[in-house]
Structure 1
C-alpha cells in the first residue's frame, strides 16, 4: 500500500488525487448544490412579529390598533399599576430587578406599537353567517383596513384568514377571499404588508390550489404576489409537512400551529388542550424541523384563558399567557397568537423579560466572538454567534436596545446584522412590526 501523501505545501509534496479526478468524482453534486440553495435559503433577514392578533371580521374598525392599545393600557392601569406587581404576575420573582424596565417597555409599546401583526378572521372566530352578511363584512373589512392605512394606524403586517378549503365551506371561503382582495386592492393596489392565512389544511394539494386561486386573483387585479401562511391544525397536515412546505414555492411564508383544533383531533380533553401540551409541542417541533433553513417562520398558538373579570382573574390570565410565551421562547418560537386586547400586556411583558434576561450575556459573548474573529482566534461556533446575534436583533426590534447600547458593548449594527443573517440592515426598530402610532 503506498504511503499517504499530504496535500501540496511548502515541502513540494503533491496531493494524491489530481484536480480532474476530484472534479469527476464530485461533478454529480452540482445539481444537489443548486437544489440545496433553492430549498434552504436561510432566514429571510426581516423582523418577525412577536404575535399575530386575530379579530373577527365584524369587529374590525379603522382604529382597531390604537383601540386595542388603549384598552390594554386601561387594563394595565387598573390591575397592575405598580411595576413590581406586573413583573411578579407575568414573570415571577426572578424578574424583580427588571420590573421598572419591563413596565416602561409595556407602557411605551402599548402606546406606539401595540399590535405588530393583525389578521381579520372569517373562520372559527367569525363562524357561519348568511352569505349576504359575510359578503358585506368582507368588503367592509377591506375598506376599514384601507382607512387604517390612510390614517397611519395599520400594522406593517396584516391580512385575512378566510374559511378553509374543506368541501363544506370552500365556496364561501373563496368568495370571501375574492371580495376582500377586490375591495382592498381598489384602483391603486392594497396597502403594503398583506398576508393571507389558510386554515385547517389537510393535504398539500389544498395549498397548491389555494396558491393557484391567489395567482388568478393577483393577475386579474394587477397586484403583487401575496405571501401565504398555512395553519397546521390537523394530524394529516403534520404528517404531510415536507410536502406542504414545497406546495407553493416562493409564496409560503409561515407555518402557524392551531393548538385547539389539533389537540382536539388527537382526542385531548378540553381541560388539557394548550400549546404546552406534549402533543402540540411535538407538532411545533416537527414544524420547526421542516422549516429550518427554508426561510419559513413558525408561530405558536393562542392562550384561551383570557385576562378578563376581577383582578384575580386578570392576573391568572396574564400569568398563564406569559408562562406559555416564556416556554415558547425557550423552544425557539418567537411568535404566537393573541385574541384579546388585555393579552397585549402579558405578551409585551413576557417578551421584554425574555430579552432582558439574557441580553447582557448575549452582548458580551457576541462582542468577544466578533473580536476573536477579527484576530483569527475564534473559539465559539458560528452557529452560536448567529443565535446570540438573533437575541440582540430581537432586542433592537423591541426597542429594548439601541445603537448607542451596541456601541457601549463594543458592537455595531452592521456587525450584529451580518452575524444574525440580516445583511444590508441599517435600522431595525419598526421595520416589520408597525409604524409608530400617535398617542391615542
Structure 2
C-alpha cells in the first residue's frame, strides 16, 4: 500500500516533480478512474452456485427440490452404491481417500442441497402452448415457489426463463414475465418475492434487447414495489458473441451472468447434432470470449448443459455420468464453475465432479496460500497477488461446499477471515 501524497518518507533525495505538479499532470485521469471503478468492480465475492437446474413450468411444484434430491439419491444407490463404484462411473480420482470424501460429499449434497439454483423454464424446455395454458403455468409456478420458500425448500437462488424478445414471441414472453412476477410479489413490501430471484433472458442478439428488457423489469419493480431483480442473459447466437462488450455494459448494476446456450449456438454455427457439446471448439471459443468480456465486471460466466441424460440401462447411466463429469471437470479447468443440469440424475455426476476438482487441488492450494499469507509479513512472496486470489478462490469454493472446515484451515496455518480477504470476499457474506 502506498503512502498518502504529502506524507512520503524522507529518503534524503527531493523528487523533481512536486505533488502539486503530479496532480496537475494526472488530473485528466480522474474521470477514467471513476469509469474503470464503475465498469470493473471485481467479483461480488458471494457464493456462486455450481449449477442451474432448468425445469419446465408445468412440472414445477413446491417439493421439486426434495423430489430431485430423492431421485438422485436413488440413482446413486442403484448405480454407484459405494465410493469405488462412483469413482469408476464418473472416471473420478481412484485414490481411496479422495473417492471416499467425494462419495460422502455427494450424499450430503443430495440430502441437504441437491439444487443450488433453480430456473423455471417457459422457453425451449417448455415449448409453445395455448395462451391460457401458459398463463396458468406462469401463475402456478410462482405460487409453487412461494410455497416452497415458506417451507424452507427453495434454493438460495431461483427464477424464471421466459421467452425471448424476438418479435414472434415477445408479447407472449413479457406477459408471462409479468404474470410470474406479479404472483411472486404477493402484496409487495415484506410479502414480496423470496430473496435470490434471477430472470434469464434467452436468445439475445443485440444490446438493445437487454436495455429494453431491463427497462421492463424496472417498470414492473416500480409498480409492484419489489426490489431490483437480477438479470442473466443467454449467449446462444453468433450476433451475441460478436456483441459481447456491448451486452456486458447494457444493464449496469443488474446484469449478473452470461450463460452459454450450447445447442442453439452450435446449430447456428452449422455444427452437426452429433458434435454439439460444451467441449466443441466453437462453443469453447464463445465461452472464452464471454470470460474475456466479463472479466473484472462482477458478471459470472456459466457453461451449458449435457443433453446425454443418465437414464435407461445401468451401462447407459454410467456412460452419461462419465461424459457429464468429464465436461464439468473440463469446464472447471477453464475457470467455468457453473453449468446447467437438466435431469435429477445429473446431480450425481455434477456434485461428484465438483468435489473431485476441489479435493484434488485443495492440499496444494492450502499450502501455497498459507506460504503467501506468511510471506506477506516477512517480505518474501513467491506467488503473485493475482495467483493468491485464485488460490483463495479455490479454498473458498471448498468452504462453500463444506469440504474444508475451520479445523483444516487452522492446521494449514489459515483461517476463513484471511482466506476471504485474500480472495476478495467481503466480510460476513452468507454462504
Instruction: Give the structure-2-normalised TM-score.
Output: 0.96
Q: CA deviation at 1:17?
A: 2.3
Q: Which residue of 2 aligns with 1:416?
A: 419
Task: Structure 2: give runs of 5+ residues left out of the alignment.
Answer: 1-7
Q: Give the Cα–Cα distance (whole angstroms) in 2 for the partners of residues 96 and 367 of structure 1.
A: 26
Q: Give the Cα–Cα distance (whole angstroms) in 1 for the partners of residues 91 and 185 of structure 2.
A: 43
> What SS does the aligned partner of 1:384 have?
helix
Indicate the structure whose relative CO is greater, using CA pairs within 8 Å and at least 6 residues apart. Answer: 1
Q: Which residue of 2 aligns with 1:290?
A: 293
Q: Give the Cα–Cα distance (whole angstroms) in 2 for the partners of residues 163 and 11 of structure 1.
A: 65
RMSD over aligned Cα atoms: 1.2
> What SS does the aligned partner of 1:363 have?
helix
Q: Give the Cα–Cα distance (whole angstroms) in 2 for the partners of residues 400 and 373 of structure 1.
A: 26
Q: Give the Cα–Cα distance (whole angstroms) in 2 for the partners of residues 304 and 249 of structure 1.
A: 33
Q: Give the Cα–Cα distance (whole angstroms) in 1 for the partners of residues 47 and 93 of structure 2.
A: 30
Q: Which residue of 2 aligns with 1:176?
A: 176
1:355 aligns with 2:358: yes
Task: Structure 1: give runs of 5+ residues left out of the alignment.
Answer: 1-7, 432-440
Aligned pairs for 1:256-405 within 5 A? 256-405=259-408
1:121 aligns with 2:124: no
Number of aligned residues: 421
Classify 1:232/1:11 alpha carbon distance in 2 versus 1 (closer, same or farther; 3 Å).
closer
Q: CA deviation at 1:375?
A: 1.9
Classify 1:417/1:9 alpha carbon distance in 2 versus 1 (closer, same or farther; 3 Å).
closer
Q: CA deviation at 1:378?
A: 2.0
Q: CA deviation at 1:14?
A: 2.0
Q: Give the Cα–Cα distance (whole angstroms) in 2 for the partners of residues 79 and 282 of structure 1.
A: 35
* CA deviation string 1:358-405 (max 9, x = no partner): 001111111111111122222320011101000000000001111111
The answer to whether the Cα contact below 8 Å between 1:389 and 1:419 also exists between their aligned partners in 2 is: yes
The answer to whether the Cα contact below 8 Å between 2:365 and 2:392 also exists between their aligned partners in 1 is: yes
Q: Which residue of 2 aligns with 1:220?
A: 223
> What SS does the aligned partner of 1:168 have?
coil
Q: Give the Cα–Cα distance (whole angstroms) in 2 for the partners of residues 121 and 73 of structure 1.
A: 24
Q: Give the Cα–Cα distance (whole angstroms) in 2 for the partners of residues 403 and 34 of structure 1.
A: 38
Classify 1:137/1:21 alpha carbon distance in 2 versus 1 (closer, same or farther; 3 Å).
same
The answer to whether the Cα contact below 8 Å between 2:93 and 2:99 also exists between their aligned partners in 1 is: no
Deviates more, 1:62-71 or 1:378-387: 378-387
Q: Which residue of 1 aligns with 2:3?
A: none
Instruction: Give the structure-1-normalised TM-score.
Output: 0.94
Classify 1:11/1:331 alpha carbon distance in 2 versus 1 (closer, same or farther; 3 Å).
closer
* CA deviation string 1:334-360 (max 9, x = no partner): 000000000000000000000000001
